[in-house]
Amino acid sequence: MWTIGVDLGGTNLRVGVINEAGQIVIEKSCSTNAEKGPNYVLNQMIQFIEEVKKGMDIHAIGIGSPGPLNPFEGIILEPPNLPGWRNIPLVERVKKATNLPVVLDNDANAAALAEATVGAGKDVNSVFYITVSTGIGGGYVLNKKIVQGAQGNCGEIGNMIVDPAGEGAPGLNKGALEALASGTAIGREGARLLGIKGGAKEVFQLAYEGNETAKQIIDRAVHYLAIGIANIVHTVNPEMIILGGGVMKSGDVILEPLKDKVKDFVYPSLRDSIQIKRAALDQKAGLIGAGLLAQK
C-alpha cells in the first residue's frame, strides 16, 4: 500500500509518496513560510499532494507536525514552531481537498515510527526515540505501533524533571530535561559562561577546539540526558533508545560519553543489555514516518 507522507516543519515542508517498505518514491519540498499563515501553507501542501499523487494508487495521507496537537481529532493546537497557527483542523481540511483518509501525529512520533520500522530500530520490538535539537521530544514505539498516550502526550520527555534545583524555561518545569539539555539550553549556557551568541553550534565548536568551559557545558547536558534516558529505561525498559535531532549530529562528542553515563544510572543487570543508537534516517525520518502513519 502506497501512502503520502507530509512533514510539516517549522522550517521546511516536505511531501512524498512512501511505499510499503518505507522508501520515498517521489518527494517535493520547499520552505514552509509558516509566517505567511496556515492558509498559505495549506494551499502549498495540497498542491504538492496533488502533484505527487498523479498516476499513483494512493490509499491515505499521514501528516507529521510540530505539537501541541490533538492526534485524535486531527487538530493543530498552537505550536511554538508554527507562529500564528491556532486550533487548525488540519485533517478535516486536507481530507476535504483530497478525498483521502488523513491522519495527523506529532513530528517526534512520526520520526520514532520511521526509525523503529525502517531505521536504526528495524530489528527490535520496542524503541524509545529521543530527538535533541532546539527542544527535546520523543516517541515510544512498541511492537511497531506508536504508543499515543491517553491525551496524546506519550514521549513528551522534554518536560521530565531531572533536577529540581535546575533551570526552568517558558512552558516547562523547573529542572526539566529540555531546559537543561536541549540545544537551546546549551546555547544559553554558552551565552552565560562564555559570552557567545552562536548558540549550541558555537559551544560545540569551542569544545572541539579545546575550550574547557565549553566542554563542561556539554558534559552537563550529557549528564542530564543520561538521567533522562535512565529514567526512561526504568519506566518502560525499551529494547533500544534511538537518538536523533540536530544536537546528536555533533557525533561521538556526545554519544559515547552519554552511553557511558547511562550505564552509571541503571541497574547493573541492564548495563550491558541497553542498546543506544544514533538515528539512521536523519532528516528523512519525519517524512517517512508520516507516510508510515497512514499505512497503519
Q: In what order do the strands lie in the sheet with 145-146?
A: 145-146, 136-142, 126-132, 240-244, 275-278
Listed in sequence order, the residues at least 6 apart from 266 whose beta carbon sits closer than 8 Å to its beta carbon are: 230, 233, 234, 274
Taking alpha carbons only, the member of 200, 194, 191 closest to residue 225 is 200
Q: Does residue 40 interact with its own copies by CB under 8 A?
A: no
Nearest approach in angstroms of CB 111 to its own copies is 17
Instruction: Evaluate whether 79 touches 70 at the Cβ level (below 8 Å).
Output: no
Strands (E), 1-74: 2-8, 12-18, 24-31, 58-65, 69-70
Sign of CA pseudo-dihedral 117, 46, 155, 157: positive
Distance (Å, rounded) from C-alpha 52 to C-alpha 6?
11
Is residue 80 at the binding interface for its own copies, with CB under 8 A as the rule? no
Length of the chain: 296
Tell me if 207 contacts its own copies by CB under 8 A: no
Report the residue from 142, 191, 194, 255 that binds its own copies according to the rule CB under 8 A.
Answer: 142
What's the distance, Cα to Cα, between the start and end of the chain in Å?
10
Contact between 170 and its own copies by CB under 8 A: the answer reads: no
Task: Check residue 137 and report its DSSP letter.
Answer: E
| Residue 153 within binding range of its own copies, rule CB under 8 A | yes
Smallest gap from Cβ 157 to its own copies, in A, equals: 6
Question: Applying CB under 8 A, which part among 13-21, 35-43, 142-150, 203-211 lies near its own copies?
Answer: 142-150
Please give the Cα distance from 211 to 203 (Å, whole number).
Answer: 9
Listed ranges 26-34, 58-66, 118-126, 204-212: which one lies at the site for its own copies (CB under 8 A): 118-126
Binding flag, residue 52, its own copies (CB under 8 A): no
Residue 43 engages its own copies in binding (rule: CB under 8 A): no
Stretch in the footprint of its own copies (CB under 8 A) among 8-16, 25-33, 57-65, 119-127: 119-127
Q: Give the CA-trace dihedral at 220, 242, 108, 113, to 10 degrees.
A: -170
Residue with smaller CB distance to its own copies, 7 or 156: 156
Stretch that binds its own copies, among 85-93, 113-121, 147-155, 254-262 (CB under 8 A): 147-155
Residues 6+ apart with CB under 8 A from 15: 4, 5, 6, 7, 27, 28, 29, 45, 48, 49, 51, 52, 287
**Segment near its own copies (CB under 8 A), from 33-41, 87-95, 198-206, 231-239?**
231-239
CA angle (221 as vertex; 220, 222 as ends), nearest 5 = 90
| Contact call for residue 173 and its own copies (CB under 8 A) | yes
Give the nearer residue to its own copies in terms of CB position, either 5 or 79: 79
Contact flag: residue 151 with its own copies (CB under 8 A)? yes
155 binds its own copies (CB under 8 A): yes
Is residue 10 within 8 Å of residue 293, measured between CB atoms? Answer: no
Is residue 148 close enough to count as binding its own copies by CB under 8 A?
yes
For residue 125, state whether it binds its own copies (rule: CB under 8 A): yes
Residue of 57, 99, 164, 212 interacting with its own copies (CB under 8 A): 164
- Contact residues for its own copies, defined by CB under 8 A: 68, 124-126, 140, 142, 147-165, 173, 227, 230-240, 265-267, 269-270, 273
